[in-house]
Amino acid sequence: MNKIDALFIGGSSVDIILRVPRLPSSDEKLLAELIEKQPGGFVSNTACAAARLGLHSAWIGTVGNDEFGRILLDGFKAYGVDTSLAIVNAQNATDFTVILLEPSGARTILVVPTSDGPPHLKGEAHAILHDVKVVYLPPYKPEWFLPLADVVHAGGGLIAIDVEASSAIKGSELDAVLRNTDVVFCNPRGLALMTGSDDPETGAARVLEFGPECVCVTLGERGASVFSPNNRAYAPGFEVPVVDTTGAGDCFHAAFLCEYLSGKPLAEVLQFANTAAALSIQKIGPRAGLPTRSQVESFIGSRGSEI
């Protein structure tokens, strides 16, 4: 494996996308249209977005020896994400999600996990942790997460996590993860899970007390805010044609990390990430609209007065 910038762990699934006229009510049968089955998952989408933006990226996780597993691995290959350390387990089915897409572009996601947890990192996979610039992953149990963070930090790398409201890691276990994390991504619901408050300023201040150097709160169409112990920035959302918001946050995270790793000021990092996300929602699916660096920079140049 060539030297990589960013290692992405877990969080991969196949998305079954259905177009619906509205969300169904309880005990109702509603006619839906199958749009497609495509590779997804919030970590793997971020890996593809990061590769598209120029980071040398690799993914480690487990897939089944089935159609969905092949869809996932082919999807990574299409974006240049290294999967040489991916684990194919014939005993497990591949994770999948069902996405209900409304006419407005809003979506509801039903997650169907089938894997047994994070992959075992040993041999070459463990060696990579010493040299990588950033590892991006969901919160996992401290007994697995903390040793990984120790190795990454010993090599000078960063740990970045995405905390969603549906996270299985909560309470004291999540607190332990936060104490060993450098960059925290969340939306207001994820922030409330960590702190009890969905207010970006209040909640982010509480997260920073655990030790992260940066907390980024995505706010959907309202943009995003980022907080560090000595700085903060806010970027409003763009008015762009919305086709599908699936994966917008994943693209945002990838773009944020690309600029953050280069040492840019937080306001510039946020501007770049917000722009990338705005471009990504103009096509169906989490990856069809993923922009290149030149596309993001061109959009910023053309809409500079709005930023």
Q: Which amino acid is at 124?
A: E
Q: Do the domain assignments include residue 124?
A: no
Total count of domains within the chain: 1
Within a domain: residue 304? no
- With a pLDDT cut of 70, the percent of the chain lying above it is 97
Residue 138 falls inside a structural domain: yes
Q: What is the DSSP letter of 105?
A: S
Per mean pLDDT, which range of 129-138, 163-172, 195-204, 238-247 is the poorest?
Answer: 238-247
Q: Which tens digits make up the pLDDT trace of 57-71?
A: 999 999 999 999 999
State how far the Cα of 109 lies from the Cα of 107, in Å rounded to an integer: 6
Q: What are 161's two structure tokens?
A: 């996590």
Contacts (Cβ under 8 Å, ≥6 apart) of 34: 16, 17, 18
Task: Give me the mean pLDDT over the 169-181 stretch.
Answer: 97
Sheet with 107-112, strands from edge to edge, namely 33-40, 13-19, 96-101, 107-112
As given in the structure block, the two tokens for residue 282 are 């103009």
Better-scored residue on pLDDT, 117 or 185: 185
The Cβ-side half-sphere exposure at 160, using a 13 Å CA radius, reads: 28
What are residue 249's phi and psi, to 5 degrees? -65, -35
- What average pLDDT is seen over the chain? 92
Asked whether residue 123 is assigned to any structural domain, the reply reads no
Q: What is the pLDDT of residue 63?
A: 93
Mean pLDDT of 115-139: 86
Q: How far is it, in rounded angstroms, from Cα 115 to Cα 99?
A: 19
> Does 306 fall in a domain?
no
Query: For the ranges 85-94, 174-183, 265-274, which has the lowest average pLDDT?
Result: 85-94
Query: Among 62, 50, 81, which residue's Cα sits nearest to residue 13?
Result: 62
pLDDT digits (tens, 9 = 90+) for 205-244: 999 999 999 999 999 888 899 999 999 999 988 878 888 7
Name, in order, each residue with C-beta under 8 angstroms of 230's C-beta and a sequence gap of 6 or more. Answer: none
User: Among 84-88, 114-118, 234-238, whose mean pLDDT is lowest?
Assistant: 114-118
Rounded to 10 degrees, the C-alpha dihedral 269/13/11/135 comes to -60
Q: Provide the 10 A C-beta neighbour count for residue 213.
A: 14
pLDDT reported for residue 1: 57
CATH number of the structural domain spanning residue 222: 3.40.1190.20
Within a domain: 301? no
302 inside domain:
no
Is the model's pLDDT at 190 over the cut of 90? yes
Question: Reduced to 3 states, what is the DSSP secondary structure of residue 8?
Answer: strand
305 is a domain residue: no
Q: What Rg, from alpha-carbon coordinates, does the chain have?
A: 18
- Pair of tokens at residue 130: 């010493």
Distance linking the first and last C-alpha atoms of the chain:
39
Share in percent of the chain as helix, strand, coil (round to 5) = 35, 25, 40
**Total-model pTM:** 0.89
Mean pLDDT across the stretch 283-306?
Answer: 84
d(CA 285, CA 15): 9
Domain that holds residue 212: 6-22+34-118+130-295
